[in-house]
Amino acid sequence: MSFQFITGLATEKPTQPVALPQPSKKQQVDPKGYLMDPALADAVNVALLLSQPLLLTGEPGTGKTQLAYRVAWELGLEEP
């Protein structure tokens, strides 16, 4: 496999920074694409019914923010 950004063979620093592709924020936070585990949906519903906060913990990249976007989307609210 060959990538265009890093070869590992350069002997000099580039004079200009390499232009890296920018991730699409819209793609990252599209709530329709988030598939919620049924147990997590139950926890969200219980928190909503009890009017209590739901504390989400986990490593970076495990979907905590995506869950917030999905919940807001399903409730017809604006982005969090």
Q: Average of pLDDT values for 30-58?
A: 92
Assess if residue 2 is contained within a domain. no
Assess if residue 77 is contained within a domain. yes
The DSSP code for 16 is S
* Alpha carbons 24 and 7: distance in angstroms, whole number: 25
Domain count across the chain:
1
The pTM (predicted TM-score) of the whole model is 0.63
Percent of the chain with pLDDT over 70: 88
Assess if residue 69 is contained within a domain. yes
**Residue numbers of the domain that contains 72:** 34-52+62-80
Distant-in-sequence, close-in-space partners of 31: CB < 8 Å, separation ≥ 6: 66, 69, 70, 72, 73, 74
Assess if residue 44 is contained within a domain. yes
Assess if residue 6 is contained within a domain. no
